[in-house]
Structure formats: C-alpha cells, structure tokens
Amino acid sequence: MSRAARTVTSKDVARVAGVSQSTVSYVMSGKRPISEKTRRLVEDAIEQLTYRPNAGARALASQRTQVIAVAMPFDSALGAAGLMAFIEEITLAARQRDHDVLLVTAAEGVEGLRRVAGGALCDAIVLMEVRTDDPRARIARDLRVPTMFVGFPADDQGLHCIDFDFEDGARLLVAELTRNRRVTVLGWGPEAVERDLNYVPRFRAAAEATAAAAGVELDWVPLHRDRVERQVRDVLAGGSRALLVTTHLARVVHAVQDAGLRPGTDLDLVALATDADATGFPVPVTAVSQHPRDVSRQAMTWLFELLDGTAAGTGLRRVPASIARRGSVRPAP
C-alpha cells in the first residue's frame, strides 16, 4: 500500500527520523528534554511525511483535553482592537502547541471558572480583565488546572499573574510633561472604574506619585464614551495645554484638531496606546504601548511551562514599559 493511501503514524516518523517511537512522542509532548539534533530530525520527518497526530488519541493517552480556556469579557474597556490583539496571540501560541482555545464570557465569573475546570473541559485557564478585588483569585488556587491571570489582583498570593508594567508606563508618560505645572489626564471612564479593573488604580497611583515629586498637578477627567469630544473641548477651553490620554485616543486627537490646535506645536499630548494607534495621525503621538501581544506571548509561554512541569514557583511578572517619542510634545525651550 502506498504512503498516500494509508494514514501516516508516529511509527513512520520514528523510522524516517531513525529514532524510537517514544522519542517522537517526547518531542511532540515536550514531557522530556530532547537534544536539538534529535528534535530537528523528528521535526524534519514530520514535515516530510506531513504527519498530523490524531488529537483524540493524543488527548486520551496524555489525559489532556488539548484545550486552553480564556475567560474574557465581550464589552472590555480595552475595546475590540485591544482584545483582538490578546486573543490572536493566545490562539497562535495555543495552536503552535496543538491546543485549541475555548472562550468563556467573563460574565460567568466564578461559576464559569468552576464549570470549565471541574468539567474537565480544558487543560489550563487564562483570565483577562482582572479586578483588584477579583473573586476568581479566591478559588484559582484550588483548581485542578493551571490558571494564568493577565493582571494583578490584590490577593495574588500563590497565583501566577502577568501584566504590562502600568506603573512604569505612568511614570514615563508623566515625566514627558513635567515642563507643565498642570497636566490634564483624560482617563478611563466610569465603566472601567466601577468594574474595579486592576490596572486603573495602579496607573493612577504611579502617575500621582511621579507628578507630586516633580511639583506637577494632575487634573483627572474620566472620559464618558458618549461625550468625549465635548469633554475635550471643555478642557481646552479651560486653558489646558498638556494632555495625558489613556483611552479614546483617536477621538481626543480629532477633537484637538477640530479646535484648531496642533499637538507638538500648540500643546503637549502623550498617550498610553499601541504603536498602531499612536501613529495614525498627521502628528504621531508620543506614547507608551501596553504591548498586548508581548503580554499574551509571555503568558502562554509561562502557562505551557506550568503544564509541562518546568515552571518554578508563583508570583508576578511585568512586561517592561518603554516610551516612543514622536512629534506630539513641544521641544524643550
């Protein structure tokens, strides 16, 4: 029977690679360390034979589901684009390890967490939109599957938590504006504050401390999504010429332009925004990116280390902040 007429098995891969069948299994599962030379032989044989292991058989043998659950809201303060960056990277990382992704709405809360973990629906869980007082933190330690928090709950003892360094991001942004004695922060709206999203107080505390040390006053203006432009007009009419924006950047910039003002010439404007969001204007905005893709990649790397038994300990990990200086801040006199 020709190779094209029958299903290729791991035994075929082992024969072509010149290794044992168990070695093929270890390369694919990552359960044991394999030399780079042997790994390459097996991977080349897999590609040559176009081998695709049966997911059901592999899950049965390993007692795994080959599924990563992601608990996320569909009305995130990050917006659709921000959420998509996270989900794309999580899905890509999962598929690279031959896992699928199961989306669980954050509205299910603790019960959703118990359902997917207790029902053996997944191998691990990623939790997004973490609250400062997050009830999921209280039960995550008792779940039978590894759990990764993208964010820092106040009760983080014994948990695995990773996030962008919002504190350092705040310090970098405020430092760009210290030539001004007063800075207006166009910040997250009431919906983010009311939901107790953990990064909001973290960012604000660091910004306040940095401003106080530099003798700068911060005026906080929570942006309401239904009246952003009106709020920006009011701020500008009040004489503010230093803006720090954490949300609705495009609408803020357009409102500034509609007022006949140019960032970098008539006022200083900096933002917490991805590079893609910060550079789509006539005057690119000086910004600190939240690095959603880096956060997702590192979260998934850590999660699979937990699944493979190679991760050490618990704790908090921060993705470093950096600032990209563009043309939206006036040159120093």
**SS3 sequence of 88-128:** HHHHHHHHHCCCEEEEEEHHHHHHHHHHHHHCCCCCEEEEC
Relative to beta strand 323-324, strand 286-288 is: antiparallel
The tokens for 255 are 């409102």
The one-letter amino acid at 285: V
Considering the domain architecture, whether residues 186 and 261 belong to the same structural domain is answered as: yes
pLDDT tens, 33-67? Answer: 788 888 889 888 888 887 766 544 454 444 578 89
pLDDT tens, 242-262? Answer: 999 999 999 999 999 999 999
- Distance separating alpha carbons of residues 279 and 290, to the nearest angstrom: 15
Considering the domain architecture, whether residues 148 and 247 belong to the same structural domain is answered as: no
Q: 218: part of which helix (H) or strand (E)?
A: strand 217-222
- Distance separating alpha carbons of residues 303 and 127, to the nearest angstrom: 12
The tokens for 18 are 């010149």
Lowest mean pLDDT of 8-12, 195-199, 239-243, name the range: 8-12
Give the predicted TM-score (pTM) of the model.
0.78
Tell me, what's the pLDDT at 1?
Answer: 40
Q: How many helices (H) and strands (E) does the chain have?
A: 14, 12
In a domain, 97, yes or no: yes
Domain count, the chain: 3
Tell me, what's the pLDDT at 283?
Answer: 97
Considering the domain architecture, whether residues 204 and 272 belong to the same structural domain is answered as: yes
pLDDT tens, 174-205? Answer: 999 999 999 999 999 988 888 899 999 999 99
Task: For residue 171, give its domain range.
Answer: 166-290
Rg (CA), the chain: 24
Considering the domain architecture, whether residues 126 and 236 belong to the same structural domain is answered as: no
The tokens for 268 are 């200083």
